[in-house]
Amino acid sequence: PLFYAKRLSEQLGGAQIYLKREDLNHTGAHKINHCLGEALLAKYMGKKKIIAETGAGQHGVALATACALVGIPCEIHMGQVDIEKEHPNVVKMKILGAHLVSVTRGTATLKDAVDSAFEEYLKDPKNFIYAIGSVVGPHPFPKMVRDFQSII
């Protein structure tokens, strides 16, 4: 949602300043923007499952929300250390119907969750889609996140 910053605009000499308030999105962050795009794309392509990683859980909650909306199964890989630290987001993902995979190898954090999720995706890329949580990784993942995030 856009918010007109009236006082800030006045203080800066009359420029019209608008703030994009991602904190007011339904899942509390900007992650829902690209997750909706990825879920709709997966549905359009006839994919049977969306696989992703999450660290603090915001990407997982956003993707679980998007998947519930379009009716496609969602599998979230999360490091065991992060699961223990981010219990409220874990509960939200489960309520939204996501299958949560606890990653215990390595440091049991985001790095290992990324590896685990991508390995699962590679088992059946014809039927699965990998919904990366940031502008990283091989083409076309960074471009997809960038393009879906560009929408106001």
Find the CATH number of the domain harbouring 142: 3.40.50.1100
Q: Could you tell me if 85 and 55 are in contact, meaning their C-beta atoms sit under 8 angstroms apart? A: no
* Arithmetic mean of pLDDT, 33-59: 96
Q: Number of structural domains, the chain?
A: 1
Range of the domain at 81: 30-149
In a domain, 137, yes or no: yes
Task: Band the pLDDT of 105: cuts 50, 70, 90.
Answer: very high
What confidence category does residue 138 fall into, taking pLDDT thresholds of 50, 70 and 90? confident
Q: Residue 17: inside a domain, yes or no? A: no
Please give the average per-residue pLDDT across 47-73, as a whole number. 97
Phi/psi for 85 (5° steps) reads -80, -30
23 within domain boundaries: no
pLDDT of residue 9: 95
pLDDT value for 47: 98
Q: Which helix (H) or strand (E) holds 143?
A: helix 141-149
First to last CA, the chain: 8
Residue 9 forms part of a structural domain: no
Run of H or E residues at 41: helix 31-45
Average pLDDT of the residues of the chain: 94
In a domain, 11, yes or no: no
For residue 71, being part of any structural domain is answered with yes
DSSP one-letter code for 106 = T
Q: Is residue 100 in a domain?
A: yes
Q: Is the pLDDT of residue 151 over 80?
A: no
Position 99 scores a pLDDT of 99
Kindly state whether residue 4 falls inside one of the protein's structural domains: no
